[in-house]
Amino acid sequence: MDRRALLADAVRRLTDAGVASPVADAETLLAHVLRTDRNRLLLVDEVSSQQSEEYDALVARRAGREPLQHLTGTAYFRHVELAVGPGVFVPRPETEVLAGWAVDHALEIEHPVVVDLGTGSGAMAKSIAHEVPGAQVHAVELDESAHAYATRNLEGTGVDLRLGDLGAAFDDLAGTVDVIVSNPPYIPMDAWESVTAEVRDHDPALALWSGEDGLDAIRVVERRAALLLKVGGVVGVEHADIQGESAQAVFASTGHWTDVRDHPDLAGRPRFVTARLAR
Averaged pLDDT in 10-residue chunks for the chain of 279 residues? 91 95 95 92 89 95 93 95 94 94 97 97 98 97 96 97 97 98 82 65 67 86 98 96 91 95 92 94
| Residues facing residue 136 across a β-bridge | 113
Residue set of the binding site for S-adenosyl-L-methionine: 118-122, 141, 183
Position 194 scores a pLDDT of 62
Confidence at residue 42, expressed as pLDDT on a 0 to 100 scale: 86
Region(s) of the chain under CATH 3.40.50.150? 78-277
Backbone angles phi, psi at 196, to 5 degrees: -65, 155
Confidence (pLDDT) at 139: 98
Show the 3-state SS of the chain. Answer: CEHHHHHHHHHHHHHHCCCCCHHHHHHHHHHHHHCCCHHHHHHCCECCHHHHHHHHHHHHHHHCCCCHHHHHCEEEECCEEEECCCCCCCCCHHHHHHHHHHHHHHHCCCCCEEEEECCCCCHHHHHHHHHCCCCEEEEEECCHHHHHHHHHHHCCCCCEEEECCCCCCCHHHCCCEEEEEECCCCECHHHHHHCCHHHHHHCCHHHCECCCCCCHHHHHHHHHHHHHEEEEEEEEEECCCCCHHHHHHHHHCCCCEEEEEEEECCCCCEEEEEEEECC
Binding-site residue ranges: 118-122, 141, 183-186
Output the known binding site for substrate. 183-186
**Residue 275 bridge partners (DSSP):** 235
Domain with CATH 1.10.8.10 in the chain: 3-64
Just give the CATH number of 3-64.
1.10.8.10
CATH class of 78-277: alpha beta
pLDDT of residue 33: 95
What is the distance between the alpha carbons of residues 83 and 72, in angstroms, rounded to a whole number?
9
Q: What is the distance between the alpha carbons of residues 273 and 239, in angstroms, rounded to a whole number?
A: 7
- pLDDT value for 193: 59
